[in-house]
Amino acid sequence: MSSPALFPLFLKLAGKRCVVVGGTHECEQKIEGLLRAGASVEVIAEELTDGIRDLHYRRKIVWNRRGFRADDLEQAALVIAQHPSHEVNEAVFRAASELGVMCNVVDQPALCHFYYPAIVRRGDLQIAISTNGLSPALASSIRAELEERFGPLYSEWVQRLGRIRARVFRTRPRSPARTALLQSFATRSRFDRFESRRARARRGES
């Protein structure tokens, strides 16, 4: 019997308290992602990587240099854990489940309420790939293909589409025609023309 399908979503974590139990390199990567999302990050660990320690010194995170306690998760939006002790990871997951806090124990699918997808990031454009936890390697392979398909210029293209959308919303009432107009801008052919103009500008052509 196959597992239930995952529900895909993007969370707004700005200003939300997020707890990380552990000070590993994998935790460091997760912390960087949480900080990019504007989260308020609290780390609970006896030891830290140099990178996490630097974030603490620069006051980007809060560090509690001690072991995990169940009440650490009160008022938390989500928790990420990767502790050397499996018993501690289980305790984190159990406490999160009891409090209704979303939890991810790194590389332990049975102790996760959610999985991290493979992500292609181009500014405000984010493309997430998931295999329901069955093959992270395949997700990474697909990400590499999409990174070639959607190059860095898409970051600027998305910004341009956002400005067009704002202008259309100011000048046209809601209607099927307005929707069709916006869709006409968000096409591959429009992007190709945009890319060509940028290439000519780099070469100094008019």
**Per-position pLDDT tens, the chain of length 206:** 467 788 888 999 999 999 999 999 999 999 999 999 999 999 999 999 999 999 999 999 999 999 999 999 999 999 999 999 999 999 999 999 999 999 999 989 899 999 888 999 999 999 999 988 788 899 999 999 999 999 999 999 999 999 999 999 999 999 999 999 999 999 999 999 999 998 888 887 65
Instruction: Give the start-to-end residue ranges of the domains of the chain.
Output: 17-116, 153-202
| Pairing state between β 62-64 and 40-44 | parallel
For residues 142 and 117, the answer to whether their CB atoms sit within 8 Å is no
In CATH terms, 17-116 corresponds, of 3.90.170.10, 3.40.50.10860, 3.40.50.720, 1.10.510.10, to 3.40.50.720
| Rounded-to-integer distance, Cα 79 and Cα 104, Å | 6
For residue 136, what pLDDT is reported? 85
**How far does CA 129 lie from the centroid of its chain?**
11
The three state secondary structure string of 33-67 is: HHHHCCCEEEEECCCCCHHHHHHHHCCCCEEECCC
pLDDT digits (tens, 9 = 90+) for 75-97: 999 999 999 999 999 999 999 99
